[in-house]
Amino acid sequence: MVDLALKILLHDKLRFTITVAGVAFAVALVLSQVGLFFGLLNNATLTIRHASADLWVTSHNTPNVDFAHQFPETYVNRVRSVPGVSKADNLIVTFMNITLPNGAEEGSVFYALEDFSAWNLPWRVKEGSLNDLRRGEFIFMDESAKRRLGAFSTGDYREVQHNRLRIAGISEEAKSFTTTPVSFMDFRRAQEMNPDLLKGQTSYILVKLAPGADTAAVKAEIQKRLPFNDVYTSNEWASKSEAYWIKNTGIGLNAFLAVFLGVLVGVVVVAQTLYTSTMEHIKEFGTVKAIGGSNADIYRILARQATIAAVLGFVLGLGLAYAQKPAIEAMALKLIMPASTIAIVAVGTLLLCLASAMVSFRKVANVDPGLVFRS
């Protein structure tokens, strides 16, 4: 089969390049914006997703994991007594100031537990032993905090809320949505350092279910015993935290606008270049009709041209998006492009390019094949 569609496309290489570049730019824009969006949201729920808790008990209406409110730590005993609960522990999440060697102060969000390894927090330890956190005046700091807090290493001392604590180890990958560095310390140490706020209090109760326990039933029973708290599954809590940031920071709207812009650019470029190309080749389309081609044959030509532009543009755009990854990661940001998102963008690119071809088709469908007799 002679590929007239491809031959017409390649006949004007400059226009073909512009078409493919337009699609590639749109795809790269959409993928990078969506990737950054997912990257930011990922930071917002990293600790929730990595902690091995099945359920989280929070104070009523806590908006997200970083903005914790306190409630009595003794509630944990009520949770431990619920059938189906294998383990339940208190977790404090609180902001504290760290004094830097130059005298400046920076905030850090501290996760405080009695037994970190039981809850898989932190989940990646670069240096040190988590057991050291139970011995008193020690903290773990995350590697990513070096951007905000300057260089530090295991064995260094830092002042936290004007208490001199030793860095017992360094974790990796622990980040927050607000980019505030994440650190870890012993639960009792945290209470001692901020007694006004934390004495006898906790921020969350982490719950691990017994094997075979009915999650919904256990959750309902905990909720019954703690009517003034909220109980979430790990996924529900992560979704609630994400929803908070999406609704309250405008990143959702920003991502939507960027995707809309990308789509608009892609559609306009493809529609415009295909339309111009079609108009320039209108006599050829008239010839196709005159020698027996139907409107379906014409649409196949235009659809194939749109498909070629979509496929090449998508592949190039995907490459561009991946090429940005190192630069984005160098800025301590993440570009997360799940396979499902890539697949959706691929299908969307194809559909939008085909829709763009409809603009040209409307014109060609009405072409009089008799125009081939005019000189």
CA distances (Å), origin 353, targets 315, 319, 345, 350: 14, 19, 12, 5
State the minimum distance, in angstroms, from the CB of residue 276 to another protein.
16
Are 84 and 222 within 8 A, CB to CB?
no
Q: Between 2 and 331, name the residue whose CB sits nearer to another protein.
A: 2
Q: Between 228 and 373, name the residue whose CB sits nearer to another protein.
A: 373
Please list every residue from 183 through 222 that binds another protein, using CB under 8 A. Answer: none
Say how many Å lie between the first and final Cα of the chain, rounded: 29
Q: Between 267 and 367, name the residue whose CB sits nearer to another protein.
A: 367
* Torsion of the alpha carbons at 112, 118, 124 and 125, rounded to the nearest 10: 70
State the minimum distance, in angstroms, from the CB of residue 300 to another protein.
11
Q: Between 10 and 347, name the residue whose CB sits nearer to another protein.
A: 10
Q: Between 178 and 287, name the residue whose CB sits nearer to another protein.
A: 287
Helices 339-365, 13-50: crossing angle, 10 deg rounding? 150
Instruction: Report the C-alpha gap between 282 and 121 in whole angstroms.
Output: 66
State the minimum distance, in angstroms, from the CB of residue 355 to another protein.
25
State the minimum distance, in angstroms, from the CB of residue 271 to another protein.
22
Contact between 1 and another protein by CB under 8 A: the answer reads yes
Q: Between 151 and 296, name the residue whose CB sits nearer to another protein.
A: 296
Q: Which stretch binds another protein (CB under 8 A): 175-183, 189-197, 244-252, 367-375?
A: 367-375
285 phi and psi, to 5 degrees?
-65, -35
Please list every residue from 227 through 286 that binds another protein, using CB under 8 A. Answer: 283-284
DSSP lists the bridge partners of residue 110 as 94, 183
State the minimum distance, in angstroms, from the CB of residue 278 to another protein.
14
State the minimum distance, in angstroms, from the CB of residue 298 to another protein.
10
Please list every residue from 117 through 136 that binds another protein, using CB under 8 A. Answer: none
H or E segment at 172?
Answer: none
Contact between 365 and another protein by CB under 8 A: the answer reads no
- Report helix, strand or coil for 346: helix
State the minimum distance, in angstroms, from the CB of residue 356 to another protein.
21
Is residue 1 exposed (0-12), middle (13-18) or buried (19+ Cβ within 10 Å)?
A: exposed
Q: Between 156 and 368, name the residue whose CB sits nearer to another protein.
A: 368
Letters for 282-301 (x = contact with another protein by CB under 8 A, - = none) are -xx--xxxxxxxxx-x----
Instruction: Report the C-alpha gap between 55 and 229 in whole angstroms.
Output: 13
Other CB atoms within 10 A of residue 141 CB: 31
Q: How many residues bind another protein (CB under 8 A)?
A: 24
Letters for 9-38 (x = contact with another protein by CB under 8 A, - = none) are -xx---------------------------
| Lookup result for tokens 């050291």 | 132
DSSP code per residue over 56-67 = EEEETT--STTS
H or E segment at 105?
Answer: strand 105-113
Residue type, 177: F
Nearest CA among 64, 60, 106, 70 for reference residue 91? 70
Q: How far is CA 356 from the centre of its chain?
A: 30
Q: Between 11 and 60, name the residue whose CB sits nearer to another protein.
A: 11
State the minimum distance, in angstroms, from the CB of residue 368 to another protein.
8
Binding site for another protein (CB under 8 A): 1-2, 4, 7-8, 10-11, 283-284, 287-295, 297, 369-370, 372-373, 375
